[in-house]
Structure 1
């Protein structure tokens, strides 16, 4: 079976798709992964076929806090849609199934429809899918955050249409496809997958709901094409076409199994003293002084520090032996060996910290990160840093709470309850849709 995986975004969007791709390949599928050009070496290094789409995302918005003008945003949107139809369309030419992951999969379902192949949409956080139980993630003006959740989601749909409907429908019309009236729900479908751990980030529906699928058996809609010709395949009642009526399947988080050892310099640092505090903000563009604040906070608590450079290029200009500044690292190998993790609250990082059984300090910046900060706090496995400036003083206060004995114990106790087989379950389900189940 030939499977196309497509995603637009930072490493947080790409790495889970890589994990799924490797599981599919292990089970005998042919896998092609379409992602921004930043990730050519990462994906190629694991032996999967890579197809670039769009510009390098690490260079987009490189100036912290930069806000595009209205015309710049329109140009970016038009360019993104054009790039996706060209790159993803070509990559799908000989594929039998398409998985789109992340909200910016504007073209993927249209391409699957054009090719007459099944399409699935996967999300990484429950609050990115419409539900009466959670508000949408903050994405700028257009949504009244004081309104009830369903009203906010309807306003969110209007915002999607205002931004994306015109360029998407222009392409669909040119290809002979019918225009869509609701861009967001067109992308998500009525039966999305939620690639998140069901304990750490559950889909917020009653456990006995027939709309929350936990079994591995594909639904009739999936077998009929899962998004292609959906109206004729196991349709949901009209009053359940969106919101809490989504037919969500939650296999667990898609975690990359990286067997490569930690770098020698990291091993030496870990062996030289007590477990350090790790500070990493991934693709977030943090203030230059954040690195120094992190080290000062660790020192104030008598701890050593490991600091990830990330897209901000954090550094401390300090040659002391109690701090190590590093590049990309395997979270699953490092996190069990640190005292606590201070991070931005991306879905993958949050899951890796939770699985390691160490406490978090979550410093959310955007999108689903506020949701993960709330989940960490509500589960008692860490502390949610307040929005705003990050200083040594705020980090010290947050770490004191996160390193409290009861929080450390709760983080350790929760770890065994989390699933680590989400990518395997999703890969098995995908292959069950192939002719003859192979």
Structure 2
């Protein structure tokens, strides 16, 4: 079977597809990935041995610009921005994916809703099978959780029934994305849709997240096939300079915000909070390009490194709460401090607190005092003990399980 895995997103969206693509290829499937062509993602997929078909544009600068605009805009203006960007993404991704999917039997789409919509349209026009994938249960309709709230479309304050709120979500997605999707459908000679969410989501959905960290309770609103998280094995050694720093003292606290372009001030707040506990610091530069705040020898800055190896050597992993970073730290047994910024990150912050394997900061902009208080909880011996216990429960075979389920499930997915 030839399968195209596609996303338009950051590293947290791309790396699981590299793992899933490698697992599919190990099972004899001809898997390929369409993802942003940023240099770091090209290297990642090359390491996994999975062919890359670049998306319509690199994502790093686009994402940073979108975050910059959103932080300075009113909700209604952000909603208009989302819709205008959706039209660009749907149209241009449709062109790219039409080529990438040539000869494929199935398309599995992850990431931004407009990109998934483009994948669904390509599958429809080519008459091939399609499935949506996601890395977090909160994106799926369920009576147990509320839908994500979009700028300019707040959930009704007087409605507490989650089913009713998910109906409201249909209207929201139609308002934000309907014009872009139906506009392209008209140009392709296809009839308009009344419910773009149902079209893009389909049924069933592949939920590629760990069932301990992000458990899925069966819902009569949608069928989800859950596996463990798709983790790409990483055998790369840590840089020698980092190894020397780690050997030279007590385990440090890791600080990194991944693909989130947080303010440079975040480094100062984090370092001061960590120093208040007498701990050393490893700062991951990330897309925010964080750097040490001074030349003290208790801080070490790193670029892209093997997180799987590094997290086994730290006292705490302090991060933004991306799904990939959360599962990497949990699997390594590293207590966590999550400072959630956007999307599903508040969910992962809540989950690590509920599991007792870390602490969640209340809000995206900590002060030195507020972050130091949260870090104190993560450094507690009982948190480390609980993190060690939960680490043993995290699935290590999520990519293989997902690949097998995907091949089996595709047999019953309608074209």
Normalising by structure 2, report the TM-score: 0.91
**What whole-Å deviation, never above 9, does each CA across 1:289-313 have from its counterpart, x for those lacking one?**
1112222222111111101111111
Which residue of the partner structure matches residue 400 of structure 1? 376
Corresponding residue SS for 2:311 = helix
Corresponding residue SS for 2:392 = helix
Residue-pair matches, total: 398
> 1:280 touches 1:343 (CA, 8 Å); kept in 2?
yes
* Pair 1:126–1:433, CA change in 2 (3 A): closer
| CA shift for structure 1 position 134 | 0.7
- Structure 2, unaligned stretches of length 5 or more? none
Distance in 1, Cα, partners of 2:63 & 2:134: 23
Which residue of the partner structure matches residue 144 of structure 1? 155
> 1:143 touches 1:152 (CA, 8 Å); kept in 2?
no
| CA shift for structure 1 position 55 | 2.4
Distance in 2, Cα, partners of 1:145 & 1:399: 35
Distance in 2, Cα, partners of 1:29 & 1:346: 29
Which residue of the partner structure matches residue 91 of structure 2? 82
Distance in 2, Cα, partners of 1:389 & 1:429: 40
| CA shift for structure 1 position 72 | 4.7
| CA shift for structure 1 position 3 | 1.3
1:121 aligns with 2:132: yes
* Pair 1:112–1:368, CA change in 2 (3 A): same
**What whole-Å deviation, never above 9, does each CA across 1:259-301 have from its counterpart, x for those lacking one?**
2221222211111111110011111121111112222222111
> 2:4 touches 2:101 (CA, 8 Å); kept in 1?
yes
* Pair 1:42–1:94, CA change in 2 (3 A): same
Which residue of the partner structure matches residue 414 of structure 1? 390
| CA shift for structure 1 position 432 | 4.0
* Pair 1:94–1:404, CA change in 2 (3 A): same
1:44 aligns with 2:46: yes
**What whole-Å deviation, never above 9, does each CA across 1:375-425 have from its counterpart, x for those lacking one?**
111111111101142222222111101111111111111111111111101
Which residue of the partner structure matches residue 4 of structure 1? 4
- Structure 1, unaligned stretches of length 5 or more? 206-242
* Pair 1:165–1:351, CA change in 2 (3 A): same
Which of 125, 149, 173 is matched with 2:186 structurally?
173
Which residue of the partner structure matches residue 299 of structure 1? 275
1:267 aligns with 2:243: yes
> 2:83 touches 2:180 (CA, 8 Å); kept in 1?
no
**What whole-Å deviation, never above 9, does each CA across 1:185-228 have from its counterpart, x for those lacking one?**
211112111111111101133xxxxxxxxxxxxxxxxxxxxxxx
Which residue of the partner structure matches residue 69 of structure 2? 66
Which of 350, 366, 382 is matched with 1:374 structurally?
350
> 2:129 touches 2:410 (CA, 8 Å); kept in 1?
no
- Structure 2 matches for 1:16-415, cutoff 5 A? 16-38=16-38, 39-62=41-64, 65-67=68-70, 69=77, 72-104=81-113, 105-144=116-155, 146=157, 147-148=159-160, 149-205=162-218, 244-415=220-391
Distance in 2, Cα, partners of 1:268 & 1:145: 54
| CA shift for structure 1 position 73 | 4.2
Normalising by structure 1, report the TM-score: 0.86
